[in-house]
Structure 1
Amino acid sequence: MSSSVSVAAEWDLLSDRFYRRITIYSPLPWSSPATTTASSSGGGSGGVGRLDLSTHIVAAAPFGGPIAAVRDDSKIVQLHSEPSRRRLLLFSSSGHPLASSPWTPHLPRLHSLAFSSSLNLLALLSDGSLLRFHLPDLRPTPSSSPVPLLPPASGGVADAVFWGGGVAILTEDNRVVVTTDIEVDDPHPRELADPGVSEDEQVLCMAVVEPQFVMSGSPEVLLGVGDRVVAVDEDGVQVLGEALEIGPVQRMAVSPNGKLLAAFAHDGRLLVIPTDFSRIIFEYECDSALPPDQIAWCGLDSVLLYWPEVLLMVGPNGDPVQYNYDEPIMLIPECDGVRILSNSSMEFLHRVPDCTTLIFGIGSMSPAALLYDARDHYDKQSAKAYDNYQLISSSLPEAIEACIDAAGYEFDVSRQHTLLKAATYGLAFCSQLRHGRFQEMCKMLRVLNAIRDPEIGMPLTIQQYKLLTATVLIGRLIKANQHLLAFRISEYLNLNPEVVIMHWACEKIAASAAIPDIVLLESLLDKFPFKLANSLLIEKVQVEESGYDIPLLLSIDEQDKALQKSIESGDTDLVYLVLFHIWQKVAVEKNAPLDFFGIINARPLARDLFMTYARHSKHEALKDLFLSTGRLQDAAFLLLKESRELEKNPMASKGSPLHGPQVRLVEQAHRLFAETKEHLFESKSAEEHAKLLRVQHHLEVSTKQAIFMGSSVSDTIKTCIAMGNDRAAAKVKSEFKVWKMSSINFYFF
Structure 2
Amino acid sequence: MSAMLIADWCPLGNDTYFRKFEIYSMAWQNEINMENLSVAVGAYGGPVALIRDRKKFVKVQGIGKPIISIYSASGNNISSIIWSSGQIIQLGWSSTEDLLCVQDDGSVLIYDMFGTHQHTFSMGQEAQDTKVIEAKTFASVNGTGLAVLTTTSFRIFLVNNVKNQNWAVISEDRQTRVLVAKDRELYVLKQSEQHALPVVPDFSEPISSIVEMAVSQNNRHVALFASNGILWIGSADLKKRYCEFDTKCPSQPKQLVWCGTEAKRSHRADEYIRLVKNELDDAVKQCIEAAGYEFDTTNQKMLIRAAQFGKGFIPDLNPDSYVKMCRLLRVLNAVRDHKIGIPLTYTQLHHLTIQVLLDRLVLRRHYYLAIQIAKYLKLPYNEGSSRILAHWACYKVKQTQLDREQVARDIADKLGYAPGVSYSEIAMKAADCGRKQLAIKLMDYEPKASLQVPLLLRLGEDRPALVKAIESGDTDLVYTVLLHLRENMPLGEFQMAVRNYPVAQALYLKYCRDHNRETLRDIYVQEDDFNAQAAFFIQESYDPKNTMSKEASLSAAQESYKKGRNEFSASLCEEQLKLLRYQKTLEEKFHREFVGRSLHDTVYFLLLLHEVKLADKLRTEYRVTDRRYWWLRIQSLAELGDWIELEKFSKSKKSPIGMEPFVDVALKYESKYEAQKYLPKVRDELKVKYYVKAGLYEDAAKIAFEQKDLQALMFVQARSAPADRTLSEKICLLVSQLSSKK
TM norm structure 1: 0.51
The aligned residue for residue 232 of structure 1 is 189
Taking the aligned partners of 1:153 and 1:96, their CA distance within structure 2 comes to 36
Distance across 2 between alignment mates of 1:481 and 1:281: 41
- Report the secondary structure of 1:24's partner residue: coil
**2:95 aligned with 1:95, yes or no?**
no
Deviation at 1:420, TM superposition (A): 1.5
Q: What is the rounded CA distance, in whole Å, between the counterparts of 1:292 and 1:124 in structure 2?
A: 22
- Give, as a single letter, the amino acid of the residue that structure 1 aligns with 2:39: V
Q: CA 1:274–1:409 in structure 2 vs 1: closer, same or farther (change >3 Å)?
A: closer
State the one-letter code of the partner of 1:169.
V
1:151 counterpart SS class: helix
Contact preservation (8 Å) 1:228, 1:247: no
2:35 to 51, 54, 68: 54
Q: Is the 2:158–2:168 contact (alpha carbons within 8 Å) kept by the matching residues of 1?
A: yes
Q: Deviations over 1:124-148 (max 9, x none)?
A: 112221110023x1100155xx645
- Rounded to whole Å, the distance in 2 between the matches of 1:218 and 1:545 is 44
Q: How many residue pairs were aligned? A: 422
Question: Contact 2:217–2:258 (CA<8 Å) still a contact in 1?
Answer: no
Deviation at 1:238, TM superposition (A): 3.4
Amino acid at match of 1:238: A
Which of 155, 160, 163 aligns to 2:130? It is: 155
Offset from partner CA, 1:262-315 (integer Å, 9 cap, x none): 4445666555565555587766677576544433xxxxxxxxxxxxxxxxxxxx
The DSSP-based 3-state class of the residue aligned with 1:438 is helix
Alignment of 1:653-732 (within 5 A): none
1:525 aligns with 412
Unpaired runs of at least 5, structure 2: 436-454, 460-742
Aligned partner of 2:378 in structure 1 is: 494
Q: Is the 8 A contact 1:87 1:101 kept in 2?
A: yes
Look up the match of 1:118: 96
Structure 1 match to 2:116: 139
1:76 corresponds in structure 2 to 57
Task: Tell me the residue number matched to 2:323.
Answer: 439
Q: Which of residues 138, 149, 166 is equivalent to 1:188? A: 166
Say which of 65, 68, 84 aligns to 2:46: 65
Q: Secondary structure at the match of 1:334?
A: coil
Find the aligned partners of 1:226 and 1:396 in 2 and give their Cα distance. Answer: 53
**Aligned: 1:354 with 2:267:** yes
Matched, 1:241 2:220: no
**1:229 deviation in Å?**
2.7
The structure richer in strand per residue is: 1
Determine the C-alpha separation between the residues in 2 that align with 1:509 and 1:256.
36
**Alpha-carbon distance between aligned partners in 1 of 2:4 and 2:243, rounded to the nearest angstrom:** 33
- CA distance in 2 between counterparts of 1:284 and 1:427 reads 40
Q: Which runs of 5+ in 1 are unaligned?
A: 33-49, 194-210, 296-330, 337-349, 368-391, 547-565, 571-749
CA deviations on 1:178-197 (whole Å, 9 max, x unpaired) are: 1112124xx2321139xxxx
Q: Which residue of 1 aligns with 2:149?
A: 170
Query: Does the CA-based 8 Å contact 1:247-1:266 persist in structure 2?
Result: yes
Give the structure 2 partner of residue 656 of structure 1.
none
Query: Aligned partners of 1:427 and 1:242: how far apart in 2?
Result: 50
Mapping of 1:618-633 within 5 angstroms? none
- Is this contact kept in 1: 2:24–2:338, CA < 8 A? yes
C-alpha distance in 2 between matches for 1:220 and 1:290: 28
* Conserved? CA contact 1:62–1:332, under 8 Å: no
Q: Which amino acid aligns with 1:108?
A: G
Contact 2:106 2:124 in 1 (8 A): yes
C-alpha distance in 2 between matches for 1:276 and 1:365: 37
Match of 1:12 in 2: 10
| Aligned-pair CA distance for 1:123 | 0.5
Offset of 1:408 from its aligned partner? 1.5
Alpha-carbon distance in 1 for matches of 2:211, 2:274? 46
Deviation of the 1:509 alpha carbon = 0.6
- 1:517 Cα deviation after fit: 3.5
Partners of 1:274 and 1:281 within 8 A in 2: yes
Q: What amino acid sits opposite 1:24 in the alignment?
A: I
The DSSP-based 3-state class of the residue aligned with 2:28 is helix
Q: 1:335 aligns with which of 255, 258, 261?
A: 261
Change (3 A) 1:469 1:455: same
Q: What whole-Å deviation, never above 9, does each CA across 1:657-684 have from its counterpart, x for those lacking one?
A: xxxxxxxxxxxxxxxxxxxxxxxxxxxx
> Hey, what's the Cα distance between the residues in 2 that align with 1:454 and 1:448?
12
| Two-structure CA RMSD over aligned residues (Å) | 3.4
Structure 1 167/522 Cα, relative in aligned 2: closer, same or farther at 3 Å? same
The 1:22–1:292 alpha-carbon spacing in structure 2 relative to 1, beyond 3 Å, is closer
- Corresponding residue of 2:354: 470
Deviation at 1:450, TM superposition (A): 0.4
Give the corresponding residue for 1:365.
Answer: 274
Asked if 1:253 corresponds to 2:214, the answer is yes
- The AA in structure 2 aligned to 1:98 is I
Cα gap change, 1:243 to 1:365, in 2 (>3 Å): closer
Structure 1 position 220 matched with structure 2 position 177 = yes
CA deviations 1:3-52 (Å, max 9, x no partner) are 222222222234244322121112x11014xxxxxxxxxxxxxxxxx111
Deviations, residues 54-101 of structure 1 (Å, cap 9, x unaligned)? 212211011111111122344233456x87653221111111111123
| Residues 89 and 104 in structure 2, CA contact (< 8 A), matched pair in contact too | yes
The 1:545/1:276 distance shift into structure 2, 3 A limit, reads farther
Higher alpha-carbon deviation: 277-286 or 524-533 = 277-286
**Residue deviations 1:550-583 (CA, integer Å, cap 9, x gap):** xxxxxxxxxxxxxxxx9xx99xxxxxxxxxxxxx
User: Which whole-Å deviations, capped at 9, do the CAs of 1:137-193 have from their partners, x for residues lacking one?
Assistant: 1100155xx645452664211222111311111101111101112124xx2321139
Counterparts of 1:243 and 1:527, CA distance in 2: 59
Change (3 A) 1:123 1:500: same
Larger Rg: 2
| Rounded Cα–Cα distance in structure 2 between residues aligned with 1:429 and 1:503 | 47
In 2, are the aligned partners of 1:71 and 1:86 still within 8 Å (CA)? yes
Alignment of 1:584-595 (within 5 A): none
How far did residue 397 of structure 1 move?
A: 1.7
Structure 2: distance between partners of 1:458 and 1:536: 29
What's the counterpart of residue 576 of structure 1? none
Distance in 2, Cα, partners of 1:503 & 1:123: 26
